[in-house]
Structure 1
Amino acid sequence: MTNDFGQLLDGAARTALPVVRGVAQTQLGAPTPCDEYDVRALLNHLFNVVVGFQALAARGTADFATTPDRLGDDDWRARFAEETARLVEAWSAPDALEGTSQGMGLPQRTVGEMALGDLTVHAWDLARATGQDFTPYAPSVPVLNEGLAALAPMARKMNVFGEPFPLPSGASPFEEVLAVTGRDPGWSPPGLAAPA
């Protein structure tokens, strides 16, 4: 038996994987909505998150102090898919959301929502950076809206989120998710128009 959260993470993975597979080697130096990351650095960051949060699902620890380069060969897309499947499996365990994270000192559900947020928002970052379409897994959006809003004050103190991006009235729920992290939902790289 799995928990419902595993289904959310599986849906997020199924929307993120085509974006990762669609990144061309020639695009690895391109800018992303995350000022401190180009596409290569963002892929390595996301890889590190996917691997590290596997251990956190079992209330273990993870080292995010360094980010190894995992894109050194042509198999990195397949390896990312394999590691993402392991992430989904880990967070699908019946007790994955119970208790407090040893590695983070936060409720396990909050840690799981962080993994869901990284996989979803960074997939959008990569899609925008590389001119791909991206539609988030719809059932995860309200969970992220609530969860990331609650995390935002701490995340801003840690310089993980920027200040909330101002949105016009009528913004979509996913645009609200992006904005709470400090992202401009209309971002596009220089010379590349944002998808409509």
Structure 2
Amino acid sequence: MTNSISDLLRSAADQAVPIVRGITDDHLADPTPCAEYDVRQLTDHLMQVVINFQALAAKQHPDFGVEPHFVEEGGDWRARFAAETAALVSAWAAPGAEEGSSGKMGLPARTVGKMVLGDLTVHAWDLARATGQEFTPDAVVVAEVWPAIAELAPKAREGGVFAEPVTVGTEVSDFDRVLALTGRDPQWRAS
């Protein structure tokens, strides 16, 4: 049985929302496993992804060209993230969201849905690691993300979205393999 993108996103959001709620204002300038982002920038990026993939579910054109600034110290961005992830789940539950193609690249809509599923899951791990929180992704989500990331990794690397893969041993989890494929060291910890 194939899991719907909306059900998978609901599970990923259930894991990601508590991580974002656990980010304190004094974490915002801390480094993350994504060397080009600190916690504030990565949270802004993830919020932008969540919002833009709502548009992609509706076969509309997203706007990734604007630098995001959702996170403000003392603001209610944590509650907004929860609301936007709920809207993302609803957008992908809409009739036709998983059908046809979506986005300028003309990718199958289900592939696009798995892209945001991967972002939500991997960036939740990034933010958890950066802020000293525990994160264990849903095994069903990882089972969907792993082959999608493996398929998309060469193009993502070519486009500068993923770094070069990190070598990991044979006795690691599928999620560690996902992280390694995206150029992350699964052992990364905040110093």
Give 1:107's aligned amino acid.
Answer: P
Gaps of 5+ in 1: 191-196
Matches within 5 A, 1:109-188: 109-188=110-189
* 1:67 aligned onto 2:73: no
How much does 1:127 deviate? 0.2
Q: Matches of 1:127 and 1:64 in 2, distance apart?
A: 24
| Equivalent-residue separation in structure 2 for 1:134 and 1:104 (angstroms) | 32
Alpha-carbon separation, structure 1, partners of 2:103 and 2:31: 35
Q: 1:38-68 deviations in whole A, cap 9, x for unaligned? A: 0000000000000000000011110111222
How far off is 1:95 after superposition?
Answer: 1.4
Moved over 4 A (4+): none
Give the distance between the partners of 1:21 and 1:86, measured in 2 at CA: 17
> C-alpha separation between the residues in 1 aligned to 2:28 and 2:55?
28
Q: Distance in 2 between matches of 1:123 and 1:117?
A: 10
Assess if the C-alpha contact under 8 Å between 1:28 and 1:38 holds in 2.
Answer: yes
CA–CA distance in structure 2, aligned partners of residues 158 and 136 of structure 1: 26
TM-superposed CA distance for 1:104, in Å, is 3.6
Which residue of 2 is the match for residue 89 of structure 1? 90
Q: Which residue identity does 1:184 align to in structure 2?
A: D
The residue that corresponds to 2:22 in the other structure is 22
* Preserved CA contact (<8 Å) 1:164 1:180: yes
Q: 1:134 offset after TM fit, Å?
A: 0.2
| Post-superposition CA distance 1:89-133 (Å, at most 9, x none) | 001123111111143421111110110001000000000000000
Once residues 137 and 173 of structure 1 are traced to their aligned partners in structure 2, the CA distance between those partners, rounded to angstroms, is 11
| Cα distance in structure 2, aligned partners of 1:161 and 1:132 | 23
Q: Under a length normalisation based on structure 1, what TM-score does the superposition of the two structures give?
A: 0.93
SS of the residue 1:177 aligns to = helix
CA RMSD of aligned residues (A): 1.1
Separation of aligned partners in 2, 1:6 and 1:14: 12
**Structure 2 unpaired stretches of 5+:** none
Write the distance in 2 (CA, Å) between the matches of 1:147 and 1:102. Answer: 17
In structure 2, C-alpha distance between the alignment counterparts of 1:108 and 1:99, rounded to whole Å: 6
| Corresponding residue of 2:42 | 42
**Quick one: distance in 2 between partners of 1:46 and 1:189?**
19
Structure 2 residue aligned with 1:193: none
- Tell me how far apart the structure 1 counterparts of residues 169 and 155 of structure 2 sit (CA, whole Å): 25
TM-score (norm 2): 0.95
| Structure 1 contact 59–102 (Cα < 8 Å) conserved | yes
